[in-house]
Structure formats: C-alpha cells, structure tokens
Amino acid sequence: MLYALSTCVWCKKTRAFLDSLGVEYSYEYLDLLPDKEQKEVLEVVKKWNPACNFPTLVINNQKCIIGFQEDKIREALK
C-alpha cells in the first residue's frame, strides 16, 4: 500500500518505479480524500510513519519504507 500526495514528485517517482517493476499495489492520495476519510487514513499512516512523511510504502503489512528509496524497495520486494 502506497500512501502519497497527488502533488508530491517523490510520490510520483515511487509509483512509476513500482509500475516499472510490474508490482501490484494499491495507493491512496491523501490530499484528494474527503476530510473524514483523510483523517482515518492519516491515523493508519501514523502507525507506520509517525512523522507522516510521503511517500509511505507499506509492504505486506510488515515493512514500511519512507521516501523514494529504490534500493530499499527493490530489496523488500525480493
């Protein structure tokens, strides 16, 4: 699951990288969600990433990668 902002360059790069790897994933653009839903999703993000930096990538509900980090993403997906 990728938590992102629609205006974030690094979020877009992360999506493009995941796409290039052919990985199936879901994503949420927090800034495009209605207020109530945005607050609920933000609480989920805070559990993985208390600073709420974006992008926040949660892999198999087990590992969290914050920011655009190709090497860490590639390693986590092996």
What average pLDDT does the segment 4-32 reach? 96
The 10s digit of each residue's pLDDT in 50-69 is: 999 999 999 999 999 999 99
The 10s digit of each residue's pLDDT in 34-52 is: 999 999 999 999 999 999 9
Mean per-residue pLDDT of the chain: 95
Q: Coil, helix or strand for 6?
A: coil
Give the residue extent of every domain in the chain.
Answer: 2-76
Q: Which CATH class is domain 2-76?
A: alpha beta
Residue 77 clears pLDDT 90, i.e. is over it: no
pTM of the model: 0.91
Question: CA torsion 26→48→34→11, rounded to 10°?
Answer: -60
Residue 9: band (very low, low, confident or very high) from pLDDT cuts 50, 70, 90: very high
Q: 38 vs 19, 65, 72, CA distance in Å?
A: 25, 20, 27
